[in-house]
Structure 1
Amino acid sequence: MRLVTFESEGLRRAGAFIEGDARIVDLAAAHQQRHGAHAPELADMLALIEGGDDALDKAMEAVKSAPETAI
């Protein structure tokens, strides 16, 4: 999993490249759409790093189950 910071609607977001780096999954959006709950540790790259292994596990799960609307 290659992580990336990207900008959406003027905000920096944490994401992960998919499909040979052609597309980006918005980690926080994917988690929220899948679980109906906000995950502050996925909001941006600093929060993801500070969240440690638990945040990284959530990020990997978000990538695996990302709905099309979070890509």
Structure 2
Amino acid sequence: MLEFQLHHKQTHIPHELLSTREFAVFLSLAHGKTPGVIAEELSLSTKTVNNYRLRALQKLNLKSNADIINYAHR
């Protein structure tokens, strides 16, 4: 990830790297919803929601749901 950032000037907003599903999960988490609730709302398994969550965390270089909430409030 760092190598990518060093070789590509940041001309985009980081969350634009998220897929549609990753962004939907990201927004739901930012609103305080649990993975179980998100899974039910999106008709996905909780494991799938957690996978989207992990990919979003990696792409945004975040570590926790609290980081997601802080990022969303910037």
TMscore range, shorter length? 0.3 to 0.5
Higher helix share: 2
Q: Which has the higher strand share?
A: 1
Q: TM-score under structure 2 normalisation?
A: 0.35
TM-score (norm: length of structure 1)? 0.36
Q: Which has the higher contact order (CA 8 A, sep 6+)?
A: 2
Higher Rg of the two aligned structures: 2
